[in-house]
Structure 1
Amino acid sequence: MKPLNFQQAVARQFNKAAKDYHQHASIQRLTANRLLSLGPANVNQALDVGCGPASTTADLLLRANHYLGVDIAPAMLSKAAADYPELSWLNGEWEALPVADNSVDWLFANLSMQWVDNLQNAMSEAYRVLKPGGVVTVNTVIEGTFNSFTKSWNEVDDLQHTHRFKSAERVQNEVDSVNWRHSEFVTEEHTQYFASVRELIGSIKGVGANYVRRTDNAGLMTRNRLQQLENAFENHRTLQGLPLEWSILNIKLVK
């Protein structure tokens, strides 16, 4: 069997997550609200890149005359279309948006940009589809995310168990490779807490964030390996539970 490329592998993870996505998406709802606060009050055409199962569609419809949802995962689009059959849903990815040039007033993307293979290409696509004066409000997961989880795995082995997120500086440099008329960047930190490692891992899988791009073989999650991870993670437990950190870079751009 031919190995999956990066985007195909990411799509597969989100197809798996589509069924139970909403019940695990508390951080996604929080970050979406922050992005909405950065966006325009009223536009003609809104494009939701990485729309998932219509997670923020209702909010965008309040501000846009026309809405278009794009996602890399067909299963996510099926869930979205079931709730909003009257809207347009397209299968596509950041680096090849299935949208006409100069057609979008507002491009909104909540926690999808970290799954882009080439960020400069994605930004060029965003610029292409925007009308002059159009606005982009996006965010991305950056370095520092899953910090305690990663440190705990490092005590078990030296393999890669989480996605390698870019630094804020690197993201900013790649975004600014496009000649935006205006750009602004703000970093925010959020932490979730869980009673157990199993619950924490289930939450990561539930939102499709468990894809790991690696060349090594991390091996099966055996009972022994899980016990080692649990033991290591106990060193990070707080009164609130086991922490799962999210470092988020919020970005606003104007063409």
Structure 2
Amino acid sequence: MNDLFDARQVRHAFGRAAQGYEEASALQREIESRLLESFDHYALRHGDAKPQVIVDLGCGPAHAAAWFRKQIPDARVIAIDAALPMLQAALPNTRGQWLRRKPVDRVCADLRALPLADASIDVLFCNLALQWIDDLPAAFAGFRRVLKPGGLLLCATFGPDTLYELRTAFEQADEVPHVSPFIDIAGFGDALVAAGFREPVLDRDLLVETLPDFTSVLRGLKAMGATNALHARRHSLSGRARFAAADAAYPRDGEGRFPLTWEAVYAQAWGPEPGTPIRDAGGELASVPLSRIPIRRR
């Protein structure tokens, strides 16, 4: 098994969390709001020209999609998520009274296989979905395919300091991984450059929650869908002894409470012109439109 993540488990976890996600996702909303601030750069580059098609990818409750609909009333806004229950729970945010004239379209699809035409999207917004993807360069290649030249990519993911307290605790209690690995800001930027995106700008934040006990940590992660989806996870119950050991090993703050760290990595980049090369470890890979390849017919 080469894949790091079990995609079906990811969909199941977020589908199961859909009904209570609104109450459990304050952290995601905060990161989303910070990422949305970068949308101002679209007007700085394009002046009065408004985006015509905007995608909220890995949309969850589709708050970002609703925000874009308010900001750009004439644009087509598409909310995409791989978990159907999450899209169903997003209905109030995409079909509210003020959205009746032009509601947000909802599409159930995997971001690794976007059902979107080439060079059709003006703004691609992806908040906290890429950390569940094995092949980041392939995901960015798909983003590049659908984004118009000069289109804006806004995305956020989790960096390696995320959940380090929980990772440390379980390393003392169990031999199998309980916390996903997360890419660092340099690797995230390198993947954008390798995919051919122009002028990437990256930033990071550390956000720390403080919870009363170990049970609250685990319940909070489950409520937001952030459960263990690694193929290498334990597929049987971990048992009380392992959880008790992890509880005992969890680092506390000065008041005996349980800190939970999240490292948010933000990226802004622009869609490249057609023909911009894609780079891998071996150098540049040519990108040639099919229409420019001569075909000899017998």
- Relative to the length of structure 2, the TM-score reads 0.78
Q: Are 1:59 and 2:76 matched, yes or no?
A: no
Corresponding residue for residue 12 of structure 2: 12
Distance 1:194 1:81 in 2: 31
In structure 2, the gaps of 5 or more residues are 44-49, 96-102, 272-298
Alignment partner for residue 168 of structure 2, among 151, 166, 169?
A: 151
Distance 1:116 1:216 in 2: 16
> What's the secondary structure of 1:96's corresponding residue?
coil
Q: Are 1:224 and 2:241 matched, yes or no?
A: yes
Given that residues 22 and 55 in structure 1 are in contact (C-alpha distance below 8 angstroms), is that contact kept between their aligned partners in structure 2?
A: no
Alignment partner for residue 217 of structure 2, among 200, 214, 217?
A: 200
Corresponding residue for residue 80 of structure 2: 70
In structure 1, the gaps of 5 or more residues are none
The range that moved more, 13-22 or 220-229, is 220-229
Q: Which residue identity does 1:162 align to in structure 2? A: V
Q: Are 1:180 and 2:194 matched, yes or no?
A: no
Distance 1:45 1:216 in 2: 39
Given that residues 94 and 104 in structure 2 are in contact (C-alpha distance below 8 angstroms), is that contact kept between their aligned partners in structure 1?
A: yes
Deviation of 1:211 after TM superposition, in Å, equals 2.7
> What's the secondary structure of 2:263's corresponding residue?
strand
Q: Are 1:49 and 2:57 matched, yes or no?
A: yes
After superposition, where does 1:72-91 map in structure 2 within 5 Å? 72-85=82-95, 86-91=103-108
Corresponding residue for residue 99 of structure 2: none
Corresponding residue for residue 130 of structure 1: 147
Corresponding residue for residue 247 of structure 1: 263
Structure 1 residues 179, 229: closer, same or farther in 2, change over 3 A? same
Deviation of 1:133 after TM superposition, in Å, equals 1.0
Deviation of 1:80 after TM superposition, in Å, equals 1.4
Distance 2:227 2:234 in 1: 15
Distance 1:167 1:185 in 2: 11
Deviation of 1:82 after TM superposition, in Å, equals 4.5
Given that residues 60 and 87 in structure 2 are in contact (C-alpha distance below 8 angstroms), is that contact kept between their aligned partners in structure 1?
A: yes
Given that residues 54 and 79 in structure 1 are in contact (C-alpha distance below 8 angstroms), is that contact kept between their aligned partners in structure 2?
A: no
Please tell me whether Structure 1 or Structure 2 has the larger radius of gyration of its CA atoms.
2
Structure 1 residues 231, 46: closer, same or farther in 2, change over 3 A? same
Corresponding residue for residue 38 of structure 1: 38
Q: Which residue identity does 2:57 align to in structure 1? A: V
Alignment partner for residue 121 of structure 1, among 110, 130, 138?
A: 138
Distance 2:210 2:235 in 1: 25
Corresponding residue for residue 27 of structure 2: 27
1:98-121 Cα deviation digits (max 9, x unpaired): 111111111111101111221111
1:218-255 Cα deviation digits (max 9, x unpaired): 6424333222222212x423438311111111000111
Deviation of 1:7 after TM superposition, in Å, equals 2.3
Distance 1:27 1:159 in 2: 27
Aligned residues: CA RMSD: 1.8
> What's the secondary structure of 2:226's corresponding residue?
coil
- Relative to the length of structure 1, the TM-score reads 0.91
In the alignment of these two chains, the number of paired residues is 250
Structure 1 residues 100, 238: closer, same or farther in 2, change over 3 A? farther
Q: Which runs of 4+ in 1 moved over 6 A?
A: none
After superposition, where does 1:84-99 map in structure 2 within 5 Å? 84-85=94-95, 86-99=103-116
Given that residues 193 and 240 in structure 1 are in contact (C-alpha distance below 8 angstroms), is that contact kept between their aligned partners in structure 2?
A: no
The range that moved more, 7-16 or 187-196, is 7-16
Structure 1 residues 181, 216: closer, same or farther in 2, change over 3 A? closer
Distance 2:66 2:254 in 1: 36
Identity percentage of aligned residues? 25
Q: Are 1:164 and 2:172 matched, yes or no?
A: no
Structure 1 residues 189, 216: closer, same or farther in 2, change over 3 A? closer
Distance 2:175 2:156 in 1: 30
The range that moved more, 58-67 or 78-87, is 78-87
